[in-house]
Amino acid sequence: MNVGQQRAAAHPPAHGPGRAGGAPARARGTDRSAARRAELIAIGRALFADTSYDALSMDDIARQAHVAKGLIYYYFRSKRGYYLAIVQDSVAELVAFAASGAELPAVDRLQRTIDGYLRFAEHHQAAYRTIVSGGVGFDAEVHAIRDGVREAIVATIADGAYGRTDIGPLARTGLFSWVCSVEGTTLDWVGRPELTRAALGELLVKTLGGTLRAIEELDPSCPAPPPARRDG
C-alpha cells in the first residue's frame, strides 16, 4: 500500500461509510427528544390532574416537575402550549380506548367505553372541565379537541349500534345530543360524586337505549340493536 492509499484508508470520503454513521446518531437524538417531551407531558398530566390551568405558574410547574423552566419553554414554547399538549395527549388516550375493543359484543364495548370515559373525567377533573367548557373564554384549539372527542364517541356508538359510521343526519344528531348530555351529567358527577362510577355508567347506557329507540322510530333505516329494544 502506497502513501496515498494509506491516507485514503485513514480518512474516508465524506460521502462514504463515515457519513452514514450520522443518520443513526440523528435518529437517536430525535428519539431522546421525543422521550423527553413525553416525560414532560406525563409529569404535566399528574400536576394538572386536579389543578386548574390558572392555579399553576410556570415557576410552580418547573419546581414541582424538578426541571428547568427553560426546558418546558424549549419543547412547548409557552405555558398554554404545554397545557394543550397535556390535554391532547390525555384525549388521544381516551379516544384510542373508545375506538378499541371492536371484538367485543356491542353492549360490552359500550359499557367499556362509558366506563373509560368516566374514569378519565374522574382522574383528570381539571382537564375534563377545560375540555367540556371550551377553555378560558373562547379557545378554538380546546373547542377542536372537544369536538374531536364528541365525533369519536358518536362514531364508536354508531359502529356498535348499526355496524357503520356513515349514518344519516337524524341519527347523528340524536347520538350527538346524547353525548352532550353525557358531558353535562359527567361534569355534575365529578363535582358531586354521589353515585358510584358503575351506577352512573349503567344509567348512561339505559338513556342511550332510549335515544336509539327514538332514532329508530323517526328513522327506520337505523333500527335499534336488540339490547336497546324494550322487548330485547
pLDDT in tens, the chain (232 residues): 444 444 444 444 444 444 455 556 666 668 888 898 999 999 888 888 778 788 889 999 899 888 999 999 999 999 889 988 988 888 888 778 777 777 778 778 888 889 988 998 898 888 788 778 765 555 788 888 888 889 988 998 998 889 899 999 999 999 999 999 999 999 999 999 999 999 999 999 999 999 999 999 999 999 998 877 665 4
Query: Which residue, among 77, 85, 87, 43, has the nearest Cα to 63 in the 3D structure?
Result: 43
Give the amino acid at 207. T
User: What distance in Å separates the CA atoms of residue 205 and residue 187, rounded to the nearest whole number?
Assistant: 17
| 3-class secondary-structure state, position 118 | helix
The distance of Cα 57 from the centroid of its chain, to the nearest Å, equals 24
User: What distance in Å separates the CA atoms of residue 199 and residue 206, rounded to the nearest whole number?
Assistant: 11
Cell digits for 147? 369536538
User: What distance in Å separates the CA atoms of residue 133 and residue 146, rounded to the nearest whole number?
Assistant: 9
Query: Which residue, among 78, 86, 75, 92, has the nearest Cα to 52 in the 3D structure?
Result: 86
Do residues 164 and 109 make contact, with C-beta atoms less than 8 angstroms apart?
no
| 3-class secondary-structure state, position 232 | coil
| 3-class secondary-structure state, position 77 | coil
pTM over cut 0.75: no
